[in-house]
Amino acid sequence: MQNGRTRKTEDRLLKAREFTRTLARYEPDIRPADGYRRLESWRDDKIARGVVNSDNDFHQIPEIQHFRRWFKMDIDIVNQKNFREWTKQYLPQTMHNNSFWNTPESPYHLGGYEKQYLLKCYNEIMDLWFRPLGVSPPIITVAQAVWISILVNTNPELIRRPIDVWLFAEYCSSIHIDKMHDTATPAVTPTSNPVLALDKSVFDYINSTAWELSSDFIRYSNMVNNGEYKKLADVWDKQQVRLQPSKNLNNKKAWEYQFPMLYGSQIPNMSSLSPHLKVLHFLSSCCLEWLDLIEEHKAVTDEPTLNIIKLKCMTTRAKVTDARESKGIKVIQFVNRDIEESNDSFQIEMFTPYYRLLVNLAQLLDSKPNETILDTPTLQDFTSVKSYKENQNEKGSDERMPLDDSKPKEYNWINWDDDKEYT
């Protein structure tokens, strides 16, 4: 009985344990007492959102003494050189010439083909994703790069889908890094084969191409229902995003810029759709809500431009919804009902980068890569938005900054607009 009670208690602390590991990875310099307060706030946020189930509560937290032991152990792992190799920012010139990835003992050896593809993928992701967002350099981790290589070697169909494979790689790397950091999984280390970290169910989904044709999704869905394939695990709590947001505008901004990536990487959510379609649905829904807010506040200064933007958003969302409904799936709902524990509070100044990302990714729907990203309207072009800026709501802010030798990476948030607050 004692063992049973102990095991039950441990299970109820699993989410808190994951949170602590993530905190150690992305804020290694935080004081343990501050880290524990962050954990308490995380618990309070779960309760406020109604995530906590009193009958099956996996969001309990330990006493501070227990937390301190966790955190010290997690920091020791984070400080190991081999572990940090995975959490660095991916840059072709550094990773491709790093001996850690170029020896027979490497956890994943990068051959000439892998390096060539990663460089191509890096450039395409920059053009398709980060340039319209106004972010430089691209926020891609080494772990994501490795999993991009693994996935295209697993299913060559992904070679021609750089955005999708990158978002799939975020899902895989989130599981991999968490297991690498978890002493309960000793077989998964920074120097072990990363493929061993993932359950077969992930590869079943990747190889099924369930996100492509209706027939593929129906076959995959039937095999899951029949127990031949396992249901995919959620990764939201294994990602950096799940840390309670810091009350800091730069962190808020980093979290907002990376949220579309995080949203698109949730494979179990809307699994009938390819990742970039999920992102398009989120972006179009988000932009339409902002447009409604602008109209509600009578802040429109150029109605024809607003109507053009609204039509683009509505058309894009309709195409995504049709793509899902063609597979016999119910209409997609918005983010706060799609992803448990998500945060859907964004500053209205994010309209311009989100809309530009939407315009760019929408080209993938029509195969017409002729849109001029920087010529798309900005928020200031058709509104008097500065006159009614909403109050900064910091409760949902967070950062997801890759680490380079355990230090936050600096990014240049390119200011395409005139809003000096976001220079």
Helix extents (H) in 49-137: 64-78, 81-87, 92-95, 112-125, 131-133
For residue 142, give the nearest of 90, 197, 94 by alpha carbon. Answer: 90
- Position 133, amino acid: L
Show the domain range for 306.
249-422
- Grade residue 386 by pLDDT with cuts at 50, 70 and 90: low
Mean pLDDT of the chain: 80
Q: What is the mean pLDDT of residues 341-361?
A: 80
340 pLDDT band, cuts 50/70/90, is: very low
The H or E element that residue 157 is part of is none
Identify the burial level of 219 via C-beta atoms within 10 angstroms of its C-beta, where 0-12 means exposed, 13-18 middle and 19 or more buried: middle
Question: Does residue 86 form part of some domain?
Answer: no
Q: What percent of the chain has pLDDT over 90?
A: 46
If DSSP codes are grouped into helix, strand and coil, which group holds residue 105?
Answer: coil
- Say what the pLDDT of residue 151 is: 97
Whether pLDDT at 293 is above 70: yes
**Residue at which a domain ends, from 18, 53, 79:** 79
| Residue 222 located in a structural domain | no
Q: How many residues does the chain have?
A: 423
Please report where in the chains the tokens 């490497």 appear, as a residue. 106
Of residues 399 and 251, more confidence is placed in 251
pLDDT of residue 238: 80
Question: How does residue 111 score in pLDDT terms, banded at 50, 70 and 90?
Answer: confident
100 located within any domain: no
Nearest to 26 by CA among 15, 38, 14: 38
On the question of pLDDT at 333 being above 80, the answer is no
Q: Would residue 146 count as lying in a domain?
A: no
What is the DSSP secondary-structure string of 258-322? HHHHHHHT-TTTTTTS-HHHHHHHHHHHHHHHHHHHHHHTT-BS-HHHHHHHHHHHHHHHHHHHH
3-state helix vs strand vs coil in the chain, percent to 5: 60, 5, 35
Task: Choose the final residue of a domain: 32, 50, 79.
Answer: 79
**Residue, of 237 and 82, whose pLDDT is higher:** 82
**The pLDDT value given to residue 342:** 41
Indicate the residue among 27, 55, 79 that finishes a domain.
Answer: 79
For residue 345, pLDDT over 80 is answered with: no
Cα 249 to chain center, whole Å? 19
214 within a domain of the structure (yes/no)? no
Residue 7 in domain: yes
Q: What is the DSSP string of 339-403?
A: STT------GGGHHHHHHHHHHHHHHHHT-TT--GGGSPPHHHHB-GGGGPPPP-GGG----PPE
Confidence of residue 91 (pLDDT cuts 50, 70, 90): very high
160-215 per-position pLDDT tens digit: 999 999 999 999 999 999 999 998 888 999 999 999 999 999 999 999 999 888 88
Per-residue model confidence (pLDDT) at position 1 = 34
Question: Does residue 145 lie in a domain region?
Answer: no
**Preceding omega of 132 cis (within 30 degrees of 0):** no
Q: What is the pLDDT of residue 243?
A: 55
pTM of the model: 0.83
User: Using CA atoms, how far apart are residues 153 and 216, in angstroms rounded to an integer?
Assistant: 20
Per-residue pLDDT of 216-273, as tens digits, reads 999 999 999 999 999 998 888 787 654 544 545 556 677 788 889 999 999 998 888 9
Average pLDDT over residues 71-78: 93
Distances (CA, A) of 373 to 206, 306, 383: 31, 17, 19
Q: Is the pLDDT of residue 142 over 90?
A: yes
- In-domain check, residue 192: no
The confidence score (pLDDT) of residue 373 equals 62
Contact criterion met (CB below 8 Å) for 144 and 166: yes
Q: Tell me the CA distances in angstroms from 415 to 39, 59, 283, 353, 358, one per residue in order.
A: 34, 39, 20, 10, 18
Work out how many domains the chain is built from and give that number: 2
Pairing type for strands 412-413 and 135-136 reads antiparallel
pLDDT of 407 over the 70 cut: no
